[in-house]
Homo-oligomer: A and B are copies of this chain.
């Protein structure tokens, strides 16, 4: 396969973490091309005595820039990386930088799959020994019911093709199991999902069902999804901080802590976003992935490995076909605004 274009400049610990993470992934056979300031990247190579392909980009979209800036800043690392994908020189693109800008660049450069109103970020929530896919995790703050229907189809196909789930179940995130419970958006989306061919619609799920792993996929608007994702990460972080503090609170606890450390570390690892890999932007006509701004080398490595799996699955083609058949069966008509 063509190399994966890694925006080496976007993110808190870049380019160090991208260079290091890319080296690890390349050592395991993942083809990578780093995109960014060639001089800075090569300094990192020199320190490590190794080298990988680089595409130069003189500019970087910073976290406080506007997402729309990608439109005119064609020399930014994310824009250059996305163009490599469009021109067939890269198989996909990953950025740990400004996620709004990454989405904007993906839409602008790669375009949308036919039948997709809005691409969505697919993220993973740990649930026991597997992960629940949650989308949209933040691309679209205001959604219409039919967007959620499209998310359901895309999420379901992703869970099937990439995560290997057979007939994945899809839940609609709401505030009560009964179909009439929720807000205007979910009540209308519930009706649409009931009539959506090709998905195993489970019905409404609640906040507690995410970690319980009630369904394979959960769909929601990007506002709720992003609040849920950041709350989940923040709670895990807070909880482990309290546990560390408690295990340090007495001599007996400290002694016990030595014995339980490796067991607790396994649990903490399950909750570490650096382990999940990158989040695919589903609905874009190509492979684009968004990583955490605070990604470490390990997160970059995981992201590259999971991106390779996703690209190899050919899920973009599956989603393209899936959305085409959705369009064929959905009655044409005005879609009521559900938010």
Contacts and interface: CB of A to CB of B under 8 A. Distances in A.
Given A206-B227, A224-B227, A230-B206, A235 B238 contact: no
Q: Is the interface of A mostly helix, strand, loop or mixed?
A: helix
A102 to B, nearest CB: 15
Interface string A196-237: 000000000011111110000000111110111111111111
Interface stretch (A73-81, A84-92, A146-154, A263-271): A263-271
Count copies of this chain in the complex. Answer: 2
A107 B237 CA distance: 39
B239 A239 contact: yes
A293 B136 CA distance: 30
B230 A142 contact: no
Contacts of A210: 231, 234-235
B175 A141 contact: yes
A103 B207 CA distance: 21
Contacts of A329: none
Interface of A: 127-128, 138, 141-142, 173-175, 181-184, 186, 206-212, 220-224, 226-239, 242-243, 246-247, 249-250, 252-253, 255-264, 266-267, 270-271, 339
